[in-house]
Amino acid sequence: MTTKTHRVLPGFGLALGYTLVYLSLLILLPLGGMILKASELGFGQIIDIALGERSLAAFRVTFGASLLAAGINAFFGLIVAWILVRYPFPGKRFVDALVDLPFALPTAVAGITLATLYAGNGWLGQYIEPLGFKVAYTPLGIVVALTFITLPFVVRTLQPVIEDIETEVEEAAASLGASRWQTFVKVIFPAIFPALLTGFALAFARAVGEYGSVIFIAGNLPLISEITPLLIISKLEQYDVLGATALAVVMLALSFILLLTVNLLQWWAANRHKNNEPLEAAAGRAAGGAQ
């Protein structure tokens, strides 16, 4: 007797068809349209626009600040996620809800608020500026805005993974003689590393496209604190749709390459982890290193 696997959704054909149509309408069609529009310009012209001094400076600011912000969140987001999962404390649910706030807040509101806080006479700015850190209206302000906007991506990606790690594994490592640091580096970190990379990639992707929160705190000075999305808007204000599309396509290509790299890295990390050691083995190895 053959057993038929029971699926919740109706037929594979229908489900896949729906998926493809949905993704095409929402993602492929607009992106395809953009590339089609850009193809009105030659490849050389696109490169010329992308290599203009202002564009180059904007790409540097956009991708640099985004990488930095995603990096900061990868580190501090990990700590936040860990504490939210592992430690009980009063008001935990409230703190947990706070993490989602940057998701829900209109980005322009976030930008204006941050600019007010960090301006020379703002709550924070008045203490920070005398120390020599100008935040509002400098590239540093862009990093602050992007860090704020992308925090939930890292925390929300890591939380379920950290929840899945059984405390028994740590206990096993400890009972075999591993120090806390060894347990973290050899047992826990490899388990959460793929998720950390995913969070990093999501945060980075979100930061690259961010506009609303940044323009209010960036200062928008050409060659210094202009982000690429602002240049795109600037070109649209000049009715230069083609120029704007060219910049957008270059941004798309760069983001795609970076995300692909991160994904490959993540795939490699996940595979390595899966192949050679279940957590218990890792615990043993951590302990082995201790001897």
Partner 1 sequence: MTRFHRSISGLLLALVAGAALADASLLNSSYDVARDVYKDYNPLFQKYWKQKTGETLELKQSHGGSSKQVRAVADGLEADVVTMNQANDIEFLAEKGLVAKDWTKKFPNNASPYTSAMVFIVRKGNPKAIKDWSDVAAPGVQMIIPHPKNTGNGRNTYLSAWAWALRQKGGNDKTAQEFLGKLLKNAPLFAAGGRDATTTFMQRGLGDVLITFESEAEMIAKEFGKGNFEVVYPSLTLQTEFPVAVVEKVVDKKGTRKQAQAYLEYLWSKEGQENAAQNYLRPRDAELLKKYAAQFPPVKTFTVDEVFGGANKAFATHFKDGGSFDQIYVQK
Give contact residues for partner 1 (rule: CB under 8 A): 52-54, 112, 115-116, 119-122, 136-137, 215-216, 218-223, 225, 230, 233-240, 243
Between 37 and 156, whose beta carbon lies closer to partner 1? 37
Between 233 and 259, whose beta carbon lies closer to partner 1? 233
Between 102 and 139, whose beta carbon lies closer to partner 1? 139
- Least Cβ distance, residue 138 to partner 1 (angstroms): 9
* Angstrom distances, CA of residue 28 to CA of 9, 16, 23, 24, 203: 24, 16, 7, 4, 22
Between 108 and 185, whose beta carbon lies closer to partner 1? 108
Between 182 and 225, whose beta carbon lies closer to partner 1? 225
- Least Cβ distance, residue 220 to partner 1 (angstroms): 4
Between 128 and 155, whose beta carbon lies closer to partner 1? 128
- Least Cβ distance, residue 234 to partner 1 (angstroms): 5
- Least Cβ distance, residue 214 to partner 1 (angstroms): 9
- Least Cβ distance, residue 249 to partner 1 (angstroms): 17
- Least Cβ distance, residue 186 to partner 1 (angstroms): 48
